[in-house]
Amino acid sequence: MNKFLSEKVTSIKPSGIRKFFDIVSEMKDAISLGVGEPDFDTPWHIRDEGIYALERGRTFYTSNAGLKDLREEISNYLKRTQNVSYDANSEILITVGGSEAIDIGLRAVINPGDEVIIPQPSYVSYEPCAVLTGAKPVIINLKAENDFRLKPEELLDAITEKTKVLILPYPNNPTGAIMEREDLEKIAQIIREKDILVMSDEIYAALTYKEKHVSITELEGMKERTILINGFSKAYAMTGWRLGYACGPKEIIQQMTKIHQYAIMCAPTTSQYAAVEALKHGDADVETMRQAYNQRRRFLLNAFREMNLECFEPYGAFYVFPSIKEFNMTSEEFATRFLREEKVAVVPGTAFGDCGEGYLRISYAYSIENLKIAIQRLKNFVEKLRNE
């Protein structure tokens, strides 16, 4: 049978997260801090709008690019939150989650042999999506001492004649790192000089805890060389609705729309109607959730400080990324033992790139009550390891 399989596809490793998932799902009474999605239900008024769309019989395809109303609301949203103007007719494409936008965005711009720069630790799909297009992924290993921000010298080292795209994954999953305006200015300057494209995955843009998120598209000359990716999953707790979007220069959006048209047709219609409601009346919900995440973030950081577990302060997404280097074991060994002995699931940092070795991703998309139980177990485990 193997002779029928695509070599390119078989060359891709299955996600490290999947492997760990299989171990966790065997254990019945384990508690998990391994989830990369909000614990909140989608706010009721948004769900209600989805239900209403079904009741009215809005069960057909929408246009390939997505509902006009939705594209206009996205345009308004980006204007009011980031002061960037995108034309609803030609510069916005509604996709099946941010993940589809990553996939077709790369497919729309890559020729075989082009290089895609991917800073890691980062979300699991950039590298395989790049490989599938025939691109060569060039990995930048981000450093804890820089709070996992991308530094200009790291970028310069990675750029070659063949570099086509830089993937910019901030606010970051799994580290929780952000890029502030002055960090982005330095990166943007290099990007413009070297004439490279950026794919900026800003799916966690609404969830930052220092200053308001800055998009690289806000900087001079960057909107015209950036594919901006965002979506509804994280900000509005809508993961299962599978709805995201890409914004960018109309030439790129046009090509992406072509792939989307043939591969997907259009994003789910019910979800699109619900998303219009989210953008129109959802700002207060996002703020309430952001405040809850921020409280949990402070709670975890304080708990790590109390148990002397090294962790930089993350200002975005809903993850903390503590170091476990003092225990002289791999992230996977730590996570496996922690699960077996204390029945708490966390994700080894290596699931997000080799440089995640020595770190764990801990999600705080859980109630404080749950976090308290998990932290107590982590404390027990850490004390046990220190006494071994």
Which residues make up the interface to other proteins (CB under 8 A)? 15, 17, 20-21, 24-25, 30, 32, 34-37, 39, 123-125, 173, 239, 291, 294-295, 298-299, 302, 345, 347, 351, 368
Q: Could you tell me the smallest distance in angstroms from the CB atom of residue 298 to other proteins?
A: 5
Q: Which is nearer to other proteins, 146 or 295 (CB)?
A: 295
Contact of 296 with 368, CB cutoff 8 Å: yes
Torsion of CA 131, 121, 381, 378, to 10 degrees: -110
Q: Is the peptide bond before 121 cis (omega within 30 degrees of 0)?
A: yes
Cα atoms in the Cβ-side hemisphere of radius 13 Å centred on 329: 15
Match 């804890």 to its residue by tokens: 144
Q: Could you tell me the smallest distance in angstroms from the CB atom of residue 157 to other proteins?
A: 28
Q: Which is nearer to other proteins, 207 or 347 (CB)?
A: 347
Q: Which is nearer to other proteins, 221 or 240 (CB)?
A: 240
Q: Could you tell me the smallest distance in angstroms from the CB atom of residue 54 to other proteins?
A: 20
Determine whether 156 is exposed, middle or buried from the number of CB atoms within 10 Å of its CB (0-12, 13-18, 19+): exposed
Find the farthest-apart pair of alpha carbons in the chain and give their distance in angstroms, rounded.
Answer: 64
Q: Could you tell me the smallest distance in angstroms from the CB atom of residue 36 to other proteins?
A: 5
Q: Which is nearer to other proteins, 67 or 365 (CB)?
A: 365
Determine whether 195 is exposed, middle or buried from the number of CB atoms within 10 Å of its CB (0-12, 13-18, 19+): exposed
What DSSP letter does each residue of 288-345 carry, written as one string?
HHHHHHHHHHHHHHHHHHHTT-------BTTEE--B-GGG-S-HHHHHHHHHHHH-EE
Nearest to 352 by CA among 90, 121, 151, 141: 121
Phi then psi for residue 197, to 5 deg, are -100, 150
Q: Residue 225 gets which letter from DSSP?
A: G
Q: Which is nearer to other proteins, 85 or 295 (CB)?
A: 295
Q: Which is nearer to other proteins, 239 or 255 (CB)?
A: 239
Q: Could you tell me the smallest distance in angstroms from the CB atom of residue 32 to other proteins?
A: 4
Q: Which is nearer to other proteins, 17 or 190 (CB)?
A: 17
Q: How far apart are CA 213 and CA 80, in angstroms?
A: 13
Q: Which is nearer to other proteins, 225 or 297 (CB)?
A: 297
